[in-house]
A and B are shown apart, each in its own frame.
Chain A
Amino acid sequence: MTRAVDLLIREMENMDVREVFGIIGGQIMPFFDALYNSSIKVYMFRHEQGAIHAADAYGRVMRRPMTVVVTSGPGATNLLTGLANAMMDSSPLIAMTGQVPTTFFGRDAFQETDIVGSSMPVTKHTFMVKKPEDMVPVYRAAYEISINGRPGPVLIDLPRDAQLIDIDPGTTKRNIRVFKKVPPEPDPSLIAYALKLLLTAERPVMLVGGGVCWSGATNEVLSIAELIGMPIVTTLLGKNCVPYNHPLVMGPSGMHGRLEADAAIINADVVLAVGTRFSDRTVGNFNEFKRGRKIIHIDIDRSEVGKNVKPEVGIVGDAKAVLSMMIKLMPKALARKHDAFIRWLRGIKESYEKYRSKVDTDGFAPWRVLKVLREVMPPHSITVTGVGSHQMWSELHWDVYVPGTFITSAGLGTMGFGIPAALGAKIARPDVPVLDIDGDGSFQMTMQNLALVREYNIPVIITIFDNSTLMLVRHWQVMLYNKRIIAVDFNVNPDFMKIAEAYGIEGVRPGNYNELRNVVTRAVRDNSAIIVDVTIDKEKDFVLPFVPSGKWLEEVIFPENFKVDLRYPGDGYGG
């Protein structure tokens, strides 16, 4: 006879789980006790939110779930933001929470919370393990569910008594039945119809979402776009799925998107949307988006098709499988019809870049800081962000060369994601440089987790876009609330150099771009941790272009002294 929790650890070892993230507490002590002689390493975070965001990033990098283990009550409730974040961005992870013994259930015992009830709306699935012999089969099922189809977080609640009961190892062999809905084989008639729409379109455009990464469909996306000669536009998560230096990739569209990407959508008559839930942030205004455009929507999640935008053709299936079939059915010799349109879009990009290089010449401009960082960070390095203007600047100006290397909190927009996400990514890939592009507000939400940098030697590069304000909200106050600025400026911020020092990390406040370039180059070369505090002027830090919430892409607010026509003049425009 063996404690259920010892059998669980043995099973995790068999499943090649090499580490867990978490924080200990009373009701999860048996689990940690069982780790005592195991091969599994524990990363002790300094806040449960940090542990779960780190697990989220780890899952995005490794495409398999990290397990986060915390205690009941506050330990468990501290996970809720992270669960919602992982759910929104379809990131796999397993959260294990200690729970009071089953005999105390519902009696408001010390540190009892109904975490299964609280987390249900923000998880892919939950399990409450009341029978000790279920513990191992439930873990196996949770692992499978987290990566099945569209990935997501799964929570397992472990009452203390169930963890401790001795059981016969033979009783844990059974499997829990989970009702997986296998995506249907792509329907050839729908694919043929979609192809017909694409091939007869005046100006087809592809919209790529995060599902393309999970499906591993980057090559198929690029092949189809090349065959048809159509531009590729992305969502914020989709930015991670295609290389920005591909000539057909126009970047993200929407609230803080690229003008050439917005223009592509504005002028499209057919949109091939792949692995996206059609966020309001990407298309702005659903009614305008639908007007005069035929939408082909491919998604593995049946409930996404028709949820926000009713498509002309909805194809439920794995993006890679559907696009592969599309490629097979594609006629071989196609006339390249859309070159003039692509040239026009790239012309918008060039004039915007030219404009940018002429302005913002004094002090640090966020977009220029990103350019310098991009030059010195190797193409395969992983970049994560906080949430705010710095993230939106990154959406606009961070060039992703290798798909899978840009990790951001897109759906939930969780400030504080950056530091733990960087730690999780570096734990996943210690050989790869990891950069966190952070805001001073976001940084302060989870900075206690910096303690892990020295404790476990996790050398990450953190740049703080330090404007002493909650800039993105300040920006909205200026633009949308008549400059009534309230509750955004930090009149007293901590000295981030001293914070760095306190955590045993080198801190640098560069005075110019060269200094910035040199310190980051050195950190990459030496694989060393560094916190770079870049002073940004809040009076100038407005992320433009900007499409206000709910507005159509054509209602974009341009940067000062810059304007382009986003309506395509037609193939004869002379471009």
Chain B
Amino acid sequence: MDMEDDFLIEVIMSNEVNQFDAVVRAMNVIRRGKVIIRHMSIDMSDSVIRVSIRARGEEDEVRWVCNKLDKLYDVVNVKYMPEEVHMSKMVVSNG
């Protein structure tokens, strides 16, 4: 049994046609993943849609969700990282 951890998933999507459909499609993928979503924010103010997700689960499951998201034709880019790494990066970038 793999360990559950907290991960940060970042998705960038195109908002060229029906921007909100892109978001709902991504949500449909996420809701079928075996991960628990702890926080999500969606920024649609820009020329792209940015979704940031904090999720808890086994890394394999997080990767599966990301791979599924990456297949979508309105998804430009998907990244995930363990939350600790992200936090330490934040600290570094804050100087």
Point out residues on A near B: beta carbons under 8 Å: 116-117, 120-121, 124-130, 134, 138, 145, 176-181, 301-303, 306-307, 310
Contacts and interface: CB of A to CB of B under 8 A. Distances in A.
- The size class of the interface chain B forms with chain A is 20 to 34
Given A117-B24, A303-B64, A306-B64, A130 B74 contact: no
A181 B71 contact: yes
Contacts of A145: 73
Given A306-B60, A310-B60, A180 B18 contact: no
A145 B21 CA distance: 16
A134 B18 CA distance: 11
Given A127-B18, A303-B64, A120 B73 contact: no
Contacts of A130: 18
A302 B67 contact: yes
Given A145-B73, A181-B71, A306-B60, A176 B17 contact: yes
A138 B18 CA distance: 12
Contact of B73 (A117, A178, A307, A310): A178
Contacts of B16: 176-177
A301 B72 CA distance: 12
Q: Which 9 A-B pairs have the closest CB atoms?
A: A303-B67, A178-B73, A302-B67, A303-B68, A128-B18, A125-B73, A121-B28, A179-B76, A120-B28
Interface of B: 14, 16-18, 21, 24-25, 28, 32, 60, 63-64, 67-68, 70-76
Contacts of A178: 73-74
Contacts of A127: 17-18
A306 B24 CA distance: 25
A8 to B, nearest CB: 15
A177 B60 CA distance: 30
16 contacts: A120-B21, A120-B24, A120-B25, A120-B28, A121-B28, A125-B72, A128-B21, A145-B73, A176-B17, A177-B14, A177-B16, A178-B73, A179-B72, A301-B71, A303-B64, A306-B60
Task: Report which residue of B24, B64, B73 has the largest number of chain A beta carbons within 10 angstroms of its beta carbon.
Answer: B73
Contacts of A126: 21, 25
Nearest to A301: B71
A178 B73 CA distance: 5
A128 B25 CA distance: 13
Contacts of B63: 306
Contacts of A180: 73
B64 A179 contact: no
B74 A179 contact: yes
Nearest to B78: A181
B42 to A, nearest CB: 17
A124 B75 CA distance: 13
Given A130-B18, A179-B74, A179-B76, 5 more contacts: A117-B24, A121-B28, A128-B21, A303-B71, A310-B60
A495 to B, nearest CB: 45
A129 B17 CA distance: 8
Nearest to A152: B71
Task: Report which residue of A134, A178, A310 has the largest number of chain B beta carbons within 10 angstroms of its beta carbon.
Answer: A178
Given A128-B18, A128-B21, A302 B73 contact: no
A180 B68 CA distance: 13
A307 B64 contact: yes
Contacts of A121: 28, 32
Nearest to A154: B73
A303 to B, nearest CB: 4
A114 to B, nearest CB: 10
Nearest to A122: B28
A66 B81 CA distance: 41
A571 to B, nearest CB: 37
Contacts of A117: 24
Given A130-B18, A134-B17, A181 B25 contact: no
B14 A179 contact: yes
A99 to B, nearest CB: 12
Nearest to B27: A120
A302 B28 contact: no
A180 B67 CA distance: 13
Contacts of B25: 120, 125-126
Nearest to B20: A128
B12 to A, nearest CB: 10
A124 to B, nearest CB: 8
Contacts of B28: 120-121
B55 to A, nearest CB: 16
A283 to B, nearest CB: 19
A301 B67 CA distance: 9
B70 A181 contact: yes
Contacts of B71: 181, 301-303
A128 B21 CA distance: 9
A130 B76 CA distance: 22
Contacts of A307: 64
A120 B32 CA distance: 13
B14 A138 contact: no
B17 A302 contact: no
A115 B36 CA distance: 28
Contacts of A138: 17
B28 to A, nearest CB: 5
Nearest to B69: A303
Contacts of B18: 116, 127-128, 130
Task: Report which residue of B17, B64, B72 has the largest number of chain A beta carbons within 10 angstroms of its beta carbon.
Answer: B17
A345 B73 CA distance: 44
B91 to A, nearest CB: 32
A179 B71 CA distance: 9
B32 to A, nearest CB: 8
A180 B73 CA distance: 6
